Structure 1
Amino acid sequence: MELVSIVDEQNNKYRFKRYKGYPFNVEAIGNVRDQLEKIAHFDVKPDDVIVSVFPKSGTHWLYNTVMMLRSGSLKYSGTPTFLEFQEFKLIEEKESPRTFGSHMRFRFLPEQMKLGRGKVVTVTRNPKDTVVSMYKMLQAMGDIGYQGSFEGFLKIFVTEECFMGNGSWFSWIKDMEEWKSPNCLSLSYKDFKQNTFENVVKLAKFLEVDHDEDFLRSVSDSIQFNKLKESHNLTTPPSDRWKDISEDGRLPIYRKGEVGEWKKVITVAQSEQFDKLFKEKVEEFGLKIKTSFE
């Protein structure tokens, strides 16, 4: 593993761990290699679920939906146990039914999951909203890899040195699309927001949980963004794991959660450049994804 530090011509500062050519957030456990090996050989249980989402694309939203559906309770479940950020002992000791989180590319998920054991759920968000949300979160936290302007962060976001997702958004999506096992359900952030109940029903069917319509509608109501944000602020206890990079050990998970928020931050010129790059990358990677920038 290599610890990389970069200062560009505008004095924007990047810092991340690099392992076998892939960038990892500086908060990834240890030398990265050991954790990845443990994850790869993890003994997956048939009822294990991993919420695997590119950062700032709806991870906690989807995780709490999954938890409500699996538990039959409307209780807020907070932050998932992330495979790459938690000591492995805590991962192994988690009681069933287990639901984990991950921001890593799909290629780093457990080998047994790739063979169809357990389930994977993901949600895909407009990358313009994603990069804005990610930058705002980095601003609100301590030094976890980037200090500088939005323009500087936008430049690295589209490269394979984007440490938040082990490479660019495009390569992350490519990994997801190449996941051939039917044990993965992919949702759209925009559709989930606009048609919440329908997506809750779809998710419940995929997770093979049996609930009546009244409960599913209660879940749909309970996972509205403002309610999750309020629950997070009121009920999430301080965590020693995050105390050095966030206020009171509480991660600033929820900000606005809006569709199209990027229009208030990204300039016309930046947007046009991104659109051009997006088209090129979709063709280069052979992506099937269709993303509306509205």
Structure 2
Amino acid sequence: MTAQLLRLGHKLFGKQFFPLGEVEGLPLPPVQLSMVTWQKQIDDVRKLELRDDDIILCAYPKAGTHWLWEIISMLLAGEADYEPRAKELLMLDVTPVKKLRKLPGPRVLNTHLPFSMLPACNMRARRVKVVHVYRNPRDVMVSMYYHLRQFSLVQTESLHQFCKAFLAGTVMYGHYAHYLNQMDTFIKQNADLPVFNISYEEMKQNPHSIVRKLAEYLEVNTSEALIADIVEACTFNKMKKVDEAKEQIRFLGLELGQKLYRKGEVGDWGNHLNEEEADTFDREFQKDLQTGRFQFQYTI
């Protein structure tokens, strides 16, 4: 299957297409040295011992992970000061588990991995807080395309070709609908372990309300003044500027955090897809989505 993915990539994007590998059927980016080290990382993550005060932030790539991670960190600290580390340094996907074990609590762990690759049993046993942020798939696709181009990992000028790969599930971390299906299954099977679900679009529309609800879910004391300070500190432009000074993980010679930001808008897909193309995209995406739990907003 890995060879098929690479052949498809070469067909769609040329010889220098994103060099995806595959573990357990999931296409994964080259943030590990090989698929063997990727498999070891996933095996270690599944066995990761969790703590009662751990928080796990889950999101498909380009759905809003960084935004929520910074907000959660501020709420736990009780002040609107930026976390000096990049979120990748607490990311289950890339940080060796032996390093994660040494981190002081509370740990705000974050990941793009699906639930089948997470320490689900320990999550239940420890009743850890789980925060999930999702975003409308049209904007996710557009944002991912430009994100990968920044790293020179997508050697095509055609977003429409990339869209085909996105809907085929051959992009990094696989099909977004499959990710959401697994999230929905976990929620259904663990009704006594509440998951805080929030959409990127809701955060853009009502940031004060969402930060307040998130504080209640995390069971942290806060004030309206602190909420306002956090909302202001976590605006797109301010976070983009602050991240340039953070300690970063390097990837292909580049610092990841400095390549995370582009527009942060809702509805940017409209600059790339016409109405007919958007309708076709939705029909194809819905073929793989098996849940109605997540309501997508395409404009605000």
The answer to whether the superposition gives a TM-score over 0.5 is: yes
Alignment-derived partner of residue 172 in structure 1: 179
Give the deviation of 1:254 after TM superposition: 1.5
Residues 142 and 244 of structure 1 are in contact (CA less than 8 Å); yes or no, is this contact kept in structure 2?
no
1:91 and 2:100 are equivalent in the alignment? yes
Residue by residue, what CA displacement relative to the aligned partner does 1:149-199 show, whole Å, maximum 9, x if unpaired?
312211111123222x2x211001111111233242110111111100000
More deviation, 124-133/181-190: 181-190
Distance 1:121 1:29 in 2: 29
Give the deviation of 1:14 after TM superposition: 4.2
Alignment-derived partner of residue 11 in structure 1: 14
Residues 123 and 187 of structure 1 are in contact (CA less than 8 Å); yes or no, is this contact kept in structure 2?
yes
Residues 52 and 101 of structure 1 are in contact (CA less than 8 Å); yes or no, is this contact kept in structure 2?
yes
Distance 1:128 1:90 in 2: 36
- 3-state SS of the aligned residue for 2:20? strand
Unaligned segments of structure 1, at least 5 residues: none
Q: Percent identity?
A: 27
Mapping of 1:1-150 within 5 angstroms?
5-6=6-7, 7-8=10-11, 11=14, 13-28=17-32, 30=34, 31=36, 32-77=38-83, 78-80=85-87, 81-110=90-119, 111-115=121-125, 117-143=127-153, 146-148=154-156, 149-150=158-159
Normalised to the residue count of structure 1, the TM-score between the two structures is 0.89
Distance 2:152 2:80 in 1: 32
- 3-state SS of the aligned residue for 1:158? helix
Give the deviation of 1:223 after TM superposition: 1.2
Distance 2:287 2:74 in 1: 40
Pair 119,29 (structure 1): closer, same or farther in 2 beyond 3 Å: farther
More deviation, 187-196/215-224: 215-224
Answer 1 or 2: which has greater helix percent.
2
Distance 1:279 1:142 in 2: 30
Distance 1:161 1:9 in 2: 11
Residues 21 and 27 of structure 2 are in contact (CA less than 8 Å); yes or no, is this contact kept in structure 1?
yes
Alignment-derived partner of residue 237 in structure 2: 226
Residue by residue, what CA displacement relative to the aligned partner does 1:14-62 show, whole Å, maximum 9, x if unpaired?
4212122221112146422211111111110000111111101111100
- 3-state SS of the aligned residue for 1:185? strand
Distance 1:9 1:265 in 2: 18
Give the count of matched residue pairs.
284
Residue by residue, what CA displacement relative to the aligned partner does 1:73-103 show, whole Å, maximum 9, x if unpaired?
2122252121111122221111111111101
Alignment-derived partner of residue 253 in structure 1: 260
Distance 1:153 1:194 in 2: 29
Distance 1:160 1:243 in 2: 23
- 3-state SS of the aligned residue for 1:45? coil
* Alignment-mate amino acid for residue 168 of structure 2: T
Unaligned segments of structure 2, at least 5 residues: none
